[in-house]
Amino acid sequence: MAVDAPARAAVKLALVRVDDRLIHGQVVVGWVRMAGATRIVVADDAVAKDEMQKTLMRFAAPPGVETSILPVEDAANALLHNAFPDDTIMLLTRGPQQLVQLMAAGVPLTRVDVGNVGGASGRMRLTKEVAAGPDDLAAWRALDQAGVKLQAVWVPGATVTDFNRVIRGRA
């Protein structure tokens, strides 16, 4: 799963984070503040179609922080066409596949913070907080091979794990 991105546009992202919970307490209390985010962009096809989930996430966002919950393709277009010119953006995805899609669309990613990606049947534990199935692992590897710095970190200020090294250590 290689990432062949078109020419990269000048998109300013304060923080890119993978967390399968998307907008939740740690995001609201810690990460938004740490990034100085004025807008959270959630790039997720399933959530973008679910009005109840979108409503709950908008209520969970901190006061004064705008939320945009978009299908991955629409999120890429919005970011590439400077749809939020006055905002400091925190980009959230549920997993690495969405990041691969964003990069393939031309969204430049240089660093990704990896948070909680839960375990389930058929998924192997990579770190205490991160599990992956075969498709996830292929996407993480594609991001690593594209030169994206991956760092697993649970909360702001916590110990950072070199997630590129974790990925490279998996056969």
Catalytic residues: 24
Q: How far is CA 45 from the centre of its chain?
A: 13
Beta-bridge partners for 67: 40
| Integer CA distances (angstroms), 95 to 12, 36, 42, 63, 157, in order | 21, 23, 11, 26, 22
DSSP states of 2-62: -----SPP---EEEEEE-TT-SSHHIIIIIHHHHT-SEEEEE-HHHHH-HHHHHHHHHHSP
Q: Is 9 within 8 Å of 31 (Cβ atoms)?
A: no
Q: What angle do CA 137, 40, 134 make, to 5 degrees?
A: 10
Nearest to 116 by CA among 86, 152, 147: 152
